[in-house]
Structure 1
Amino acid sequence: MEIKAVAKYIRLSPQKARLVADVVRGMGVEDALTTLRFMPKKGAGIIRKVLASAIANADQVDTVDVDTLYVKQILIDGGPMLKRFSPRAQGRANRILKRSSHITVVVDEK
């Protein structure tokens, strides 16, 4: 039985979040939480929170054994971008895109 948790509008670029997600995809949840706890990236803490939420969601279902869960999917989708401008020489401006992410974690039993 698939159980998921979603975090939306996270101020982290999808490219950086996918680097972290690729490491823990397919792991057992205990190994994934331990790996994310000691990973020195901003996205690791965010994905760890979403994974903990998915585990808590699974804990609410009576038929699911939390000890046998594994990370089935981690989807990182792009969210809306904040558009900013940086002044450049001779009156020009460069566009700066501050990207955001939607993170979905799906856990399932082995």
Structure 2
Amino acid sequence: MKLSKTDRKLRIRRRIRKISFGTEARPRLSVFRSNKEIYAQLIDDNKGVTLAAASSRDKGIDAKGTKSDIAASVGKAIAEKAQKLGIEAVSFDRGGNLYHGRVKSLAEGAREAGLKF
């Protein structure tokens, strides 16, 4: 029996979460992508807390251009927040999405701003 699109994405998400785990020194950079917006969080899985978050809905994000351009600016914003917290390296969690398009743009934006993963 064929999996539905949501079941397939959930299966991929669970497989990724087995591998990526966030600590205080190296938190997990979790990405959620909806049809209109994109969100990124730095999560410490040991304590179960979100250290920092950025999204395309934030006021400091440049909301002009394509969705990929906006995702890149979200990546830069989360990287700046991470550097203020003294975080240099993260574990990337693409959230069941393909590493392509907006997810890739967010990751490249974060790398440009100084995050390592």
Q: What's the TM-score once normalised by structure 1's chain length?
A: 0.30
Structure 1 or 2, whichever has the larger Rg, is 1
- Larger relative contact order (Cα-Cα within 8 Å, sequence gap ≥ 6): 1
Q: What's the TM-score once normalised by structure 2's chain length?
A: 0.28
